[in-house]
Amino acid sequence: MRQHRTIPRLRLLGSLLLVLAAGVAGTGAAPDGAAAAPAVRPLGDIVPAPTSVRPSGSPYTLTARTAIRVDADSRAARRVGAYLASVLRPATGYPLPVVDDDEARGGIRLRLDARGRELGDEGYRMESGRQGVTLTARTPAGLFHGVQTLRQQLPAAVEHDTPRPGPWTVAGGTITDTPRYGYRGAMLDVSRHFFTVGQVKRYIDQMALYKINTLHLHLSDDQGWRIAVDSWPRLATYGGSTQVGGGQGGFYTKAQYREIVAYAASRHLEVVPEIDMPGHTNAALASYAELNCDGVAPPLYTGTEVGFSSLCVNKDVTYDFVDDVIRELAALTPGRYLHIGGDEAHSTSHEDYVAFMDRVQPVVAKYGKTVIGWHQLAGARPAPGALVQYWGLDRTGDAEKAGVARAAQNGTGLILSPADRLYLDMKYTKDTPLGLSWAGYVEVRRAYDWDPGAYLPGVPASAVRGVEAPLWTETVSSSAHIERMAFPRLLGAAELGWSPAAAHDWEAYRQRLAGQGPRLEAMGVDFHRSPQVPWRTE
C-alpha cells in the first residue's frame, strides 16, 4: 500500500521541486543574470527509483569542512565511509575525513542500526537537511546502497576525477528504500573474449552505482577456459590460450580471481562463477584428450558457433574432472552459488543430459554451494534449492515456458534474463556496430518495459528471485565495447531488480535515465545515446 501512495506523490513533488530548483538557480545568478548556479537535483531523481521519497526542508551543501561520521565501534561503517570519501574527494577537492561520530557535528553521518527491521538486508534511509545527511541501515550493504543514492543526488560532475567548482548540494527530505528482489545481477562472458582484472573491476564499480549486487562470471566455454585449476592445469594454460578471432586469450590465476572476488565484496557484490557443462566445453576437451569419448582432443576453437561440444557423459573420468573443478572453484567462492551452465547441450542426448545433471548437482552441494543452471536444467531434475536462469524470449514455445513454470511451482527459484529484453549483447537497432541480433533488436524501452513479477505464465511471484543482464562477448573485446552495450540498458535491469512494481513507468523512467547521461559522461562511459531518451546536459 505504501508504494501506491508514495509513488504518485514522488512524481508530483518531483515536478514541484523542479520548479523550486529553478528558483534556487535564480538566486545564484550573477548581477547581469548570466551565470546561473546549477539546479539542485530533485530528491528521488535517481536510478533505480527509490521505494519512498518525501522531499522537505532545506538542502544540504557539502563544504571543505564536511566530515564523514561513523559509529566509533563499527569497522564496517568505517569501510563504507572510506569508500564514500574516495568517491567524493577527487571532484570536490575536499578532505572529507572519516571520523568517529562524536568528533564532529552535522556533515554526513553513516549509522548502522540493527533495529531498523523495515530496512531489511539491503535497505537504507537517507535523511537530508540544512545540517547534513544521515544514512541509516541495518547492514553494511544497506549503507553502501544508501551511499550510491547520496552520490546520485549530487551533481553529475562529482564523478569527475579532477576538482570541479560545485556547489555540491543534496535536496532536503527523506528517502526510505528497499529492493524488490534479492538477486540483481549482471553477467560478463570472459570466455569468448578475455577481460583483465582491471577491466572487470571497472565494470564492478559501474554496477555498484546502480545497486546491482551480483556479478556472474561465465568462466568457460568452447573458446576459452579462464580460471586456473591446480589439478587440471592445462585447462587454463592451454584451454585459455586463445579466444574468438584467435587472439591470445588469458586466464585468471587463483590470486587474481580472489582479487576480483574481494573487490566485488568491497562493493557489496557476490560473485557467481560459471563453468558451463556438459556442452560449451571445447576448451576443456581440447586440453585433455581423456575427456573425449573417442580419446582424441579436438583443436582449440576460435569461431562463434554453439552446441557442437560435449563432455563424455558415460566416462568416469568426466566426474573426476567435474569434482576437482567444482571443489577448487567452490574453495575460491565465498558466495552461495555455483553456476553449472547446462544450456545448448545439443550434442548430448536428453537421457544423457538428465543423467549428467543428476550426478553433477550433488557435487555442487557436497562442496557447500547452491546450483544455478540455465533454464534447460528445468527439463532435467533441478536439485532442491536450485535456481534456473531463464533466457528464452517472447517467441519461445509454450511447452518450454510451461516446463520452466512447472519447475517454479515445484520450488525451483527463477532468475529472469529474457534474451529479447536483458541480453546486453543484442544490438539496439540494425545500425548498432557491435552485438548479435538472433533475439531481435533491443532498444532501451524494450529492455525496461516489462514486469519480471508477471513475465512467465504460471510462475508464482515468489519463485522469481530477481533479474540478470548477461553480456556475451562474441563481438565485445574492450571496456569501451562493454560500456557501449551495457549502458544505458544495464540501468533498466537494475531498476527492474530494485524498484517496486508500482514505480514502473516508462515515461518517468526515461526522464530519470536522461539525468544519468551527464553522470556516465563524467565517468568516461561512452554509452548508447538512444533517441528514446531526452538526454540532459549539466
CB of 389 to ligand NGO, least distance (A): 8
**What would the x/- binding string for ligand NGO be over residues 451 to 470, using CB under 6 A?**
--------------------
- Please state, in angstroms and as integers, the Cα–Cα distance from residue 448 to each residue in 273, 471, 506, following that order: 26, 16, 8
Nearer to ligand NGO, 45 or 425 (CB): 425
Quick check: 194 and 477 in contact, CB under 8 A? no
Give dist(CA 176, CA 287) in Å, integer.
Answer: 52
**Structural contact between residues 352 and 313, judged by C-beta atoms closer than 8 angstroms:** yes
Assigned C-alpha cell, 100: 568517529
- Report if residue 423 touches ligand NGO, rule: CB under 6 A: yes
Are 204 and 267 in contact by the 8 Å Cβ rule? The answer is: yes
The least distance separating ligand NGO from the CB of residue 234, rounded to whole angstroms, comes to 23
Say how many C-beta atoms besides its own lie within 10 A of residue 430's C-beta. Answer: 7
Complex with ligand NGO: residue 69 or 484, whichever CB lies closer? 484
The three cell numbers of residue 282 are 571445447
In the complex, least distance from residue 466 CB atom to ligand NGO, rounded to whole angstroms: 17
Interaction pattern, residues 282-321, with ligand NGO; x per rule: CB under 6 A: ------------------------x---------------
- In angstroms, what is the minimal distance from the CB of 315 to ligand NGO? 24
* Interatomic CA distance for residues 344 and 401, integer angstroms: 16
> Which residue(s) pair with 417 in the sheet?
none
344 is catalytic: yes
Nearest Cα neighbor of 186 from 396, 398, 486 is 486
Considering the complex, state which of residue 68 and residue 187 has its C-beta at the smaller distance from ligand NGO. 187
Q: Which is nearer to ligand NGO, 373 or 497 (CB)?
A: 373
User: What's the DSSP call for residue 373?
Assistant: E
Q: Which amino acid, one-letter code, is at 27?
A: T
How far from the centroid of its chain's Cα atoms is residue 30's Cα? 43
Beta bridge partners of 99: 69
DSSP states of 438-482: TT----HHHHHSS-GGGSSTT--GGGEEEEEEEE--SS--SHHHH
Q: Which of 391, 448, 450, 535 binds ligand NGO (CB under 6 A)?
A: 391
User: Do 143 and 75 form a contact (C-beta atoms < 8 A)?
Assistant: no
- Does 425 interact with ligand NGO (rule: CB under 6 A)? yes
Cα pseudo-dihedral 98, 170, 183, 394, rounded to 10? -150
Residue 537 to residues 117, 447, 514, Cα–Cα distance (Å): 39, 23, 9
Q: Which lies closer to ligand NGO via its Cβ, residue 425 or residue 495?
A: 425
3-state secondary structure of 257: helix
How far, in Å, CA of 91 to CA of 159, rounded?
7
Min dist. Cβ of residue 442 to ligand NGO (A):
11
To ligand NGO, the closest distance from the beta carbon of 310 in angstroms equals 14
With respect to ligand NGO, which residue has the nearer C-beta, 353 or 374?
A: 374
Nearer to ligand NGO, 298 or 440 (CB): 440
Minimum CB–partner distance for residue 74 and ligand NGO (Å): 41
Helix (H, G, I), strand (E, B) or coil at 182: coil
Of 175 and 275, the one with the shorter C-beta distance to ligand NGO is 275
Q: How far is the CB of 496 from ligand NGO (least distance, A)?
A: 19
Nearest distance from C-beta of residue 374 to ligand NGO, angstroms: 5
- Binder of ligand NGO out of 24, 265, 393, 436 (CB under 6 A): 436
Q: Which of 344, 400, 483, 538 is catalytic?
A: 344
What phi, psi does 395 have (nearest 5°)?
-80, 0
- 420 touches ligand NGO by CB under 6 A: no
Which residues in 315-374 contact ligand NGO (CB under 6 A)?
Answer: 343-344, 374
Closest-by-Cβ residue to ligand NGO is 472
Per the structure block, which three cell numbers stand in for 500?
Answer: 517496486
Q: What number of residues does the chain have? A: 538
Name the residue among 315, 311, 372 with its Cα closest to residue 338: 372
For ligand NGO, the closer CB: 51 or 389: 389
The three cell numbers of residue 271 are 560473485
**Catalytic residue numbers?**
344
Q: Residue numbers of the site for ligand NGO (CB under 6 A)?
A: 306, 343-344, 374, 391, 423, 425, 436, 472, 474
